[in-house]
Amino acid sequence: MDRLPEGKQPALRVMPMPADANQNGDIFGGWIMAQVDIAGGTVAGRMARGRVATVAVKEFMFKQPVQIGDLLSFYVDVKKIGTTSITVTVEVYAERRPENPRVVKVTEATLTYVAIDATGQPRPVPRA
């Protein structure tokens, strides 16, 4: 049994609903990928102080299926800040079964975002 990371605040928390499920009752992988992109983009956008665009997903690994009613917590770690890019790793944990609580790590991914200006062109990431 995994635990939620101690001392860290999630970048996003969300509960998938029946409309997010496939024919087997599990949550669509694409829905989870979109939420991961939102969580990572939120942190990257804050660091970039403006718009960012997703330019790469280096790795995306599903470890457990996500079920309707799981409370998902998305934790983002910044791995690298380049001249115009920010690379992050997003880990996703599901809190299951409120009557018998259990936490499982369901997925993790590494994504790269590029800071962009109003015209969509890359711009430098501000330094502190």
| pLDDT number for residue 1 | 54
Q: How many CA atoms lie within 13 A of 48 on its CB side?
A: 29
DSSP state of 120: S
When mean pLDDT is compared across 12-21, 28-37, 97-106, 109-118, the lowest value belongs to: 97-106
Note the pLDDT of residue 87.
98
Decide: 126 and 75 in contact? Cβ < 8 Å.
no
Q: Where are the domains of the chain?
A: 12-115
Helix (H, G, I), strand (E, B) or coil at 34: helix
Element (H, E) at 38: helix 29-48
Per-residue pLDDT tens digits for 47-97: 999 999 999 999 899 999 999 999 999 999 999 999 999 999 999 999 998
Fold observed for domain 12-115: Thiol Ester Dehydrase; Chain A (3.10.129)
- Total-model pTM: 0.93
Cα 43 to Cα 1, 91, 115: the distances in Å are 27, 13, 12
CA–CA distance, 3 with 56 (Å, rounded to integer): 28
